[in-house]
Amino acid sequence: MKSFQMELSLFIESYEYIDLKKGRKINFQRDPSKIEEIIFEDNEIEEDVTKIPVYSEIAAGMPIYINDEIEGNFYLPSWLVKSSKDTFMLKINGDSMINANIHDSDLVVIKKQDAVYNGEIVAVDIDGYATIKRINIDGKYAILSPENNKYEPIVMPIDDVRIIGCAVGILKSKFY
């Protein structure tokens, strides 16, 4: 019986969601054949979920060309996502944000908004190229800071940077 349970668990995906606004971590699983159901550690199934579109990669490093094609959808508990129409996910490509616990292949949940606070992690558009960085506004300049000492900040006139949105969560795939 135990080997059957272990074999069955190989088909279950495990995730950790890090809520950047409330500072909490939520672990859950899902069966790839039932992606609209979230399974919590106590085997409680959450069926009140919100579909979040997943777009192609965003650079955590040098900005890359924006590809606005949806690659798929991911379902999260509705209580984690206030408004699905203003929320989307981007797959991280690179290592410039590792000190903020954002690693290559993580999915970052972005809330579309124009205004952000200094120190927030944001997705930005720089002439059709996108990157994710920590932002600080200093007068007429935007300072886009990496969270890895291997990289230098990007300093640009604020008018040359378009904020796509603010990072509100990180989704990490967990393998055991």
Exposure of 162 in the CB half-sphere (CA atoms within 13 A): 9
- Which of 25, 84, 85, 96 is catalytic? The answer is 96
pLDDT value, residue 59: 67
DSSP state string for the chain: -HHHHHHHHTT-EEEEEEETTTTEEEEEEE-GGGTT-EEETTSPEE--EEEEEEEEEEEESS-EE----EEEEEEEEGGG-S-GGGEEEEEEEESTTGGGT--TT-EEEEEE-S---TT-EEEEEETTEEEEEEEEEETTEEEEE-SSTTSPPEEEEGGG-EEEEEEEEEEEEE--
- Which of 133, 140, 145, 150 is catalytic? The answer is 133
User: Among the listed ranges 5-9, 144-148, 161-165, which one has the minimum average pLDDT value?
Assistant: 5-9
pLDDT value, residue 3: 40
Domains and their CATH numbers in the chain: 2-174 (2.10.109.10)
The amino acid present at 164, given as its one-letter code, is I
Whether 143 has a pLDDT exceeding 90, the answer reads: yes
Confidence of residue 6 (pLDDT cuts 50, 70, 90): very low
Question: CA dihedral defined by 69, 57, 107, 21, rounded to 10 degrees?
Answer: -90
Could you confirm whether 105 is annotated as catalytic? no
pLDDT value, residue 61: 63
Could you confirm whether 78 is annotated as catalytic? no
Pair type for strands 87-94 and 162-174:
unpaired
- Residue tagged 């124009």 (tokens): 114
pLDDT value, residue 4: 39
Whether 7 has a pLDDT exceeding 50, the answer reads: no
pTM (2 decimals)?
0.86
What tens digit of pLDDT does each residue of 62-108 get? 666 566 778 899 999 998 887 778 899 999 989 999 999 999 999 99
What tens digit of pLDDT does each residue of 114-142 get? 889 999 999 998 888 889 999 999 999 99
What tens digit of pLDDT does each residue of 19-58 get? 998 989 999 999 888 888 899 877 888 888 999 999 877 7
pLDDT > 90 in the chain, percent: 56
- Spatial neighbors of 18 by CB under 8 A, at least 6 apart, are 24, 25, 101, 169, 170, 171, 172
Exposure of 24 in the CB half-sphere (CA atoms within 13 A): 4
